[in-house]
Amino acid sequence: MIEYVIDKVDLHSLLRAVGVLQNDEQILLVNNIDLRDYRKKQVSILVDNVKNGNIYRAPFEELTEKELENTLSHLYAFEQFLLREFMQVHQHISGGQEELKKRNSKASVNQDGIPLDIEQHLSLALQNILKQDKKNDSQDTN
């Protein structure tokens, strides 16, 4: 992996040039999972008006009540966006772990989801029980 750093102004200018952003908008967040997911054709971004662009403009104590309410609403939006992205990461991790677990167990499963080695063990146990029953039945008839 290589990390590139792009100037924010240049990035916004580029996105305005291709019609993604309006003149009074700025990117707040980009969903990186969408960006890397080969199944997704689009990337989710969170944008806001330039006037709201800096939610970290001052400590909370220095904000008016209206500014504080606006800042909190922006932070809630950030949180929801990031939680969605986090859940996507979590789902990918869980899926990868399940696949790895399946491969590491080296146990193929039948159509009912029962591992073949367990199915084989149960089959042998059942055969032994049936053989024992046949033996008992033949002894009873003699």
How far the first Cα of the chain sits from its last, in Å, is: 79
The pLDDT value given to residue 52:
60
Mean pLDDT across 134-140: 74
The pLDDT value given to residue 50:
61
Is the predicted pLDDT of residue 54 greater than 90, yes or no?
no
Is the predicted pLDDT of residue 53 greater than 60, yes or no?
no
pLDDT grade for 31, boundaries at 50, 70 and 90 = confident
Is the predicted pLDDT of residue 51 greater than 70, yes or no?
no
Q: How far is CA 123 from CA 44, 75, 111, 113, 118, in A?
A: 52, 59, 16, 16, 8
Tell me the pTM: 0.54
Identify any residues that bridge with 25 across adjacent strands, giving them in sequence order. Answer: 49
* Domain residue spans of the chain: 1-52, 54-130
Determine which helix (DSSP H) or strand (DSSP E) holds 139, and give its type and residue range. helix 116-141
In three-state secondary structure terms, 2 is coil
In three-state secondary structure terms, 28 is strand
Cα gap 95→39, rounded to integer Å: 15
CB 50 within 8 A of CB 27: no
> For the segment 57-113, what is each residue's pLDDT rounded down to a tens digit?
678 898 889 988 988 888 898 899 899 889 999 999 999 999 888 777 765 777 787
